[in-house]
Copies of this chain bind each other. A is one copy, B any other.
Amino acid sequence: MTQANAFYAQSGGVTAVINATACGLIETARRESARMGTVFAGRNGILGALNEELIDTSLESDTAIAALRHTPGGAFGSCRYKLRSIEESERQYRRLIDVFAAHDIRYFFYNGGGDSQDTAHKVSLIGERLGYPITAIGIPKTVDNDLPFTDSCPGFGSVAKYVAISTREAALDVASMSETSTKVFVLEVMGRHAGWIAAASGLAQEKRGDAPHIILLPEVPFDEERFLRRVREVVERRGYCVIVASEGARYASGEFVADAGGKDAFGHTQLGGVAPVIADRVRARWGYKYHWAVADYLQRSARHIASAVDVEQAYALGQAAVEFALAGRNAVMPTIKRLSDAPYRWTIGEAPLARVANVERKMPKSHISADGFGITAKARRYLAPLIEGEAPPPYRNGLPDYVRLDNRLTAKKLAAFEI
């Protein structure tokens, strides 16, 4: 096999560890420079390929690339842009191949969630159809942890750790004050469709009665009456109640709880997320003083408290992507394969992209407690290893010392393309 260049792009919402995957991929490619040439990174994800805006990562020092391992966000820019079917988006797919051919790119690495795996699959198909030799590898990434075939998704473990720690810490605060002040605290976390992130807050519990007392999952229809009764029971027994609500919590009708807050003075739907709506329902019924927090981007960018396991897996998947590509495996996604829960052991597995695309993995029923407000021992066994270990970034002046790459583009060789 002769040397060829590679293209790598980050897709969709970024995470605390997607750059660790980029680090694993680029460092491995550098070690394999006899067979893999320049790794070009797409500026703003796949848009970088369509626009022929290719970041020449070979211009970055080894030190800068190594620092990606501890830097959150997407170092090359990411995007929300979905290629459709080959028929509908044929022009775009052909453009990708044109750009790849112009820059001698024969390895395509797409680092993202379900949509990205679908795109990577289609790139492999179009390459075949057009007779252009491209090896397409999908690399999993999503805080939502909703990809199939992989035991966990890079990005999730770190959000899980952040949410469990934040829940434990805020609960200590609420407990201290509950006699005369706040009795109900609601923390809103991500997870529009799957409750994995909210479920992870359950790891904060060490013994019966510990927070979180109620977890609201998208998988369990929100029954307001049952919920309110439970809040009162918990406050009466424990003195306070900590609730972790998935942004995707919804009524049996399918309506998001977050959308149920009514209209503001301008007739817009309530601005907020689910936390303020729920907190207000509790106040309206029981009069408890409440506080609420919405973690939003803080949770998925919190590299300072990333899970060491997550960082290691993110890196290993980037490394495996290069190894798979060089081994001639096409249209596959490296995965995390769990070998045992305790001690936690894992290895790299492999899934065909054709089967990964657009399958969403929700929490299984066996992970949700009978009352729907918590998680089971089985869920704990699954979740606990994913938040293991700390991997703090270096600090300078009291702040994490994150790297910013130069991101210099390679010269264009093609005419502009109207996306």
Which A positions have Cβ atoms within 8 angstroms of B? Answer: 10, 13-14, 16, 44, 47, 71-75, 77-81, 161, 164-166, 168-170, 172-177, 179-181, 185, 187, 203-204, 261-266, 268, 270-272, 275-277, 279-280, 284, 291-298, 300-305, 307, 384, 387-390, 392, 395, 397-400, 402
Tallying the copies of this chain within the complex gives: 2
Residues A399 and B177 in contact, CB atoms below 8 Å apart: no
Indicate which residue in B264, B301, B303, B304 contacts A264 across the interface (CB closer than 8 Å): B264
Interface core residue of A271, A390, A400, A402 (most chain B CB under 10 Å): A271
Q: A180-B44, A264-B262, A399-B165 are in contact. Are A173 and B80 (CB under 8 A)?
A: no
Q: A170-B297, A279-B271, A304-B305 are in contact. Are A73 and B185 (CB under 8 A)?
A: no
Q: How far is the CA of A79 from the CA of B289 in the complex (A)?
A: 13
Q: How far is the CA of A277 from the CA of B180 in the complex (A)?
A: 29
Residues B301 and A169 in contact, CB atoms below 8 Å apart: yes
Q: What 15 new A-B contacts, CB under 8 Å, besides A73-B175, A271-B272? A: A44-B179, A73-B169, A74-B173, A79-B180, A79-B181, A80-B180, A80-B181, A169-B303, A173-B297, A173-B300, A173-B301, A262-B264, A268-B284, A291-B297, A388-B398
Residues B392 and A388 in contact, CB atoms below 8 Å apart: no
Residues A179 and B77 in contact, CB atoms below 8 Å apart: yes
Q: A77-B179, A293-B298, A302-B169 are in contact. Are A398 and B272 (CB under 8 A)?
A: no
Q: How far is the CA of A166 from the CA of B299 in the complex (A)?
A: 9
Residues B297 and A294 in contact, CB atoms below 8 Å apart: no
Q: Which residue of B lies closest to A157 (CB)?
A: B398
Q: A44-B179, A169-B303, A179-B77 are in contact. Are A296 and B297 (CB under 8 A)?
A: no
Q: Which 9 A-B pairs have the closest CB atoms?
A: A262-B265, A73-B172, A74-B176, A293-B296, A387-B398, A271-B276, A169-B301, A173-B301, A170-B297
Q: Which residue of B lies closest to A239 (CB)?
A: B77
Q: How far is the CA of A331 from the CA of B384 in the complex (A)?
A: 50
Q: Which residue of B lies closest to A276 (CB)?
A: B271
Q: How far is the CA of A204 from the CA of B168 in the complex (A)?
A: 26
Q: A80-B177, A169-B72, A173-B72 are in contact. Are A164 and B399 (CB under 8 A)?
A: yes
Q: A174-B297, A176-B78, A271-B270 are in contact. Are A399 and B204 (CB under 8 A)?
A: yes
Report B-chain residues with C-beta under 8 Å of the C-beta of A265.
Answer: 261-263, 270
Residues B263 and A169 in contact, CB atoms below 8 Å apart: no
Q: A176-B74, A298-B170 are in contact. Are A161 and B47 (CB under 8 A)?
A: no
Report B-chain residues with C-beta under 8 Å of the C-beta of A301.
Answer: 169-170, 172-173
Summarize A's interface: helix, strand, loop or mixed: mixed
Residues A390 and B388 in contact, CB atoms below 8 Å apart: no
A-B contact pairs, 24 of them (CB 8 A): A13-B177, A73-B169, A74-B177, A79-B181, A161-B398, A165-B304, A166-B302, A169-B297, A169-B400, A169-B402, A170-B296, A204-B399, A261-B271, A264-B270, A264-B280, A270-B271, A271-B272, A272-B272, A272-B276, A292-B296, A293-B294, A298-B298, A387-B399, A388-B397
Report B-chain residues with C-beta under 8 Å of the C-beta of A402.
Answer: 168-169, 172
Residues A293 and B291 in contact, CB atoms below 8 Å apart: no
Q: Which residue of B lies closest to A76 (CB)?
A: B176
Q: How far is the CA of A304 from the CA of B169 in the complex (A)?
A: 9
Residues A271 and B277 in contact, CB atoms below 8 Å apart: yes
Report B-chain residues with C-beta under 8 Å of the C-beta of A170.
Answer: 296-298, 301
Residues A176 and B298 in contact, CB atoms below 8 Å apart: no
Report B-chain residues with C-beta under 8 Å of the C-beta of A275.
Answer: 294
